[in-house]
Structure 1
Amino acid sequence: MNKWLRAGLSGLAGAVAVTLVHETVRRFYPDAPRMDVLGMRAIAKGMRYAGQTPPPDDTLHTWSMVGDIISNGLYYSLVGGGKKALAKGTILGAAAGLGGVLLPGPMGLGTEPSNRTRQTQALTIGYYLFAGLVSAAVAASLRKVRR
């Protein structure tokens, strides 16, 4: 299997993992991060900036989920394909988690969805770190398939 395919598949695995964790935990835990809300706000803000009216929240939520899978898949694809997948997955995951906590406020998206409590902050970082580790595990497994 070529390295580009391994990278893409490992990135997709990380993206699906982080999205599933977010969507599952938010339904049961009130202090869970709400990265879906940040995605919805980002889409709506961009549409308003372009002079468009954002769609209803259910449509925005669907767009946010699709956007998350695509953008996180591309991001976590940086883990796969080569050596040192575990180190790359750890670094990329931790960086994404920190970005999820630190960047929404300065971007004008609000801080509550990922910064509401210390638990919310820790979960945000943990989710993305988990996704990086999933990407690394898939990349390593696919690398072994090649041999």
Structure 2
Amino acid sequence: MKLLPSLTAGLAGAVALTLLHETVRRLRPEDAPRMDVLGMRGLRKLLGKADAPQPDNDTLFNVTMAGDMLSNGLYYSMVGSSRHALERGLALGALAGVGGVLLPGPMGLGTAPTNRTPQTQAMTVAWYTMGGLVAGAVARALRNR
């Protein structure tokens, strides 16, 4: 696996995912997934366990978005740079989407942000899958240069 192309592809997938999340949550607030809310809840929980000061909402949002970009970028970088990058991106994205629907409740982050409606669940899976496909497509394009 070549590190720089994989990281570049992962970042592309993370950017695509974040842009989609942030755009649609503003256009369809009634049923768009709210991964930002899950991230902020998770960060508040971690800071609380560490007895660290709680940031204001704007700072919390910004730190959460940076953390999402980093973690999703690293996750999607697992597409690698092989000729199977697109297939890996599809699988990684679908897995992340299903996890986004199933895991927040058991993790104590609540279920509404990704399970509010069947449309919310479908969008969560579809968007993470799309992020994986973008990562795979970028990895494939970089490999073929």
- TM-score by length of structure 1 reads 0.95
Q: Is 1:80–1:135's contact at 8 Å kept on the other side of the alignment? A: no
Deviation at 1:80, TM superposition (A): 2.6
Summarize the alignment of residues 1-16 of structure 1 with structure 2, pairs less than 5 Å apart: 3-16=2-15
Letter of the aligned partner of 2:7 in structure 1? G
1:53 equivalent to 2:56? Answer no
Distance in 2 of aligned mates of 1:58 and 1:115: 25
State the partner residue of 1:17.
Answer: 16
Cα deviation, 1:9-51, whole Å, max 9, x if unaligned, reads 0000000000000000000102000000000000000000111
Deviation at 1:104, TM superposition (A): 0.4
Deviation at 1:112, TM superposition (A): 0.4
Summarize the alignment of residues 42-81 of structure 1 with structure 2, pairs less than 5 Å apart: 42-81=42-81
Q: For this pair of structures, how many residues does the alignment match? A: 144
Deviation at 1:3, TM superposition (A): 1.5
1:26 equivalent to 2:25? Answer yes
CA RMSD of aligned residues (A): 0.9
Distance in 1 of aligned mates of 2:82 and 2:57: 40
Distance in 2 of aligned mates of 1:52 and 1:7: 34
Cα deviation, 1:31-77, whole Å, max 9, x if unaligned, reads 00000000000000000011123111111100110000000000000
1:95 equivalent to 2:95? Answer yes
Deviant stretches of 4+, over 6 Å: none
State the partner residue of 1:129.
Answer: 129
- Structure 2 counterpart SS, 1:16: helix
Distance in 2 of aligned mates of 1:56 and 1:17: 27
- TM-score by length of structure 2 reads 0.97
Letter of the aligned partner of 1:89 in structure 2? G
